[in-house]
Amino acid sequence: MLDTGTRSLIPHVPGLGEIEFIHAGNWLEHSTLPEHLAVIGGGYIALEMSQFYRRLGSRVTVIEQSEQIAAHEEIQMSRSSSRNCWKKKKELFFTLSTEVVSTRPSAEGVRVSLKSNEGIEEFAAAHVLVATGRLPNTDDLGLESVGVKASKRWHR
């Protein structure tokens, strides 16, 4: 077994490369608190970071593609997490069953375009945090040249 560590999984979202987004690898480098943070992803890292920024005073919008937050967890845990976040936190919003279509720089910081069953909408945020998962650091090691196969569960 090789333990090479992991890095943030950055989704292919048009315009994401044009903005300075926050992720698990660089969030400590940001010294300003965003007034409004858009969080792409609804897993445990997204939820932890959302609560962290909310407790510091940011307004936070969590954008999750699935119908529930913490989708990889048991449904009861997901519902409990959702209820607790709603109950205790004002200014912490969840947008479920929603896809981030694009991002672009703007005077406010970032414009985020979303697609849901209700259609396309856009909103402004000061910053975007990407928390869509982790990838192993194995893709550029040349493992296949020595006959080692990486687990398929980590590759997208």
- Rounded to two decimals, what is the model's pTM? 0.80
28 located within any domain: yes
143 located within any domain: no
59 located within any domain: yes
- How far is residue 105's CA from residue 22's CA, in Å, rounded to a whole number? 14
- The first and second tokens of residue 106, run together, are 């703007």
Residue whose entry in the numeric block shows the structure tokens 């929603």: 98
Total domain count, the chain: 1
Give the domain CATH number at 36.
3.50.50.60
Tens digit of each residue's pLDDT, the chain (156 residues): 667 788 888 899 999 999 999 999 898 998 899 999 999 999 888 999 999 999 999 999 999 988 766 655 555 554 555 555 544 456 788 888 999 999 999 998 999 999 999 999 999 999 999 999 888 777 777 777 787 776 665 444
Type of residue found at 52: F
Work out the burial of residue 24: count CB atoms within 10 Å of its CB; fewer than 13 is exposed, 13-18 middle, 19 or more buried. Answer: middle
